[in-house]
Amino acid sequence: MKDNAPLAAVVMGSESDLPIMRKTAEVLKEMGVSYEIKISSAHRTPDETALYAKSARDRGIEVIIAGAGMAAHLAGAIAANTTLPVIGVPIKSGELNGVDALYSTVQMPSGIPVATVAINGAANAAYLACSILSIKYPEIRAALDAKRAKTREILLEKSEADARWTDPEERA
User: Looking at the DSSP assignment, which residues form a beta bridge with residue 39?
Assistant: 12
Using CB under 6 A as the binding rule, whether residue 100 contacts ligand RP5 is answered as: no
**In the complex with ligand RP5, which residue's Cβ is closer, 15 or 167?**
15
Handedness of CA 131, 148, 32, 120 (dihedral sign): positive
CA distance 163 to 4: 46
**In the complex with ligand RP5, which residue's Cβ is closer, 6 or 13?**
13
Using CB under 6 A as the binding rule, whether residue 88 contacts ligand RP5 is answered as: no
Using CB under 6 A as the binding rule, whether residue 121 contacts ligand RP5 is answered as: no
Using CB under 6 A as the binding rule, whether residue 49 contacts ligand RP5 is answered as: no
We find the least distance from the C-beta atom of residue 161 to ligand RP5, in angstroms, to be 40
We find the least distance from the C-beta atom of residue 72 to ligand RP5, in angstroms, to be 6
Q: What are phi and psi of 13, to 5 degrees?
A: -75, -25
Using CB under 6 A as the binding rule, whether residue 120 contacts ligand RP5 is answered as: no
User: Looking at the DSSP assignment, which residues form a beta bridge with residue 86?
Assistant: 64
Question: In sequence order, what are the residues at sequence separation of 6 or more whose Cβ sits closer than 8 angstroms to the Cβ of residue 79?
Answer: 53, 86, 108, 112, 113, 114
Using CB under 6 A as the binding rule, whether residue 90 contacts ligand RP5 is answered as: no
**Cβ atoms of 83 and 61 closer than 8 Å:** no
We find the least distance from the C-beta atom of residue 94 to ligand RP5, in angstroms, to be 7
Using CB under 6 A as the binding rule, whether residue 68 contacts ligand RP5 is answered as: yes
Nearest CA-CA partner of 37 in 11, 55, 13: 11
We find the least distance from the C-beta atom of residue 70 to ligand RP5, in angstroms, to be 4
| Dmax (CA) of the chain | 61
Site for ligand RP5 in 128-167 (CB under 6 A): none
**In the complex with ligand RP5, which residue's Cβ is closer, 93 or 134?**
93
Nearest CA-CA partner of 65 in 54, 78, 55: 78
Total interface residues for ligand RP5 by CB under 6 A: 11
Interface positions with ligand RP5 (CB under 6 A): 13-14, 16-17, 41, 43, 68-70, 91, 93
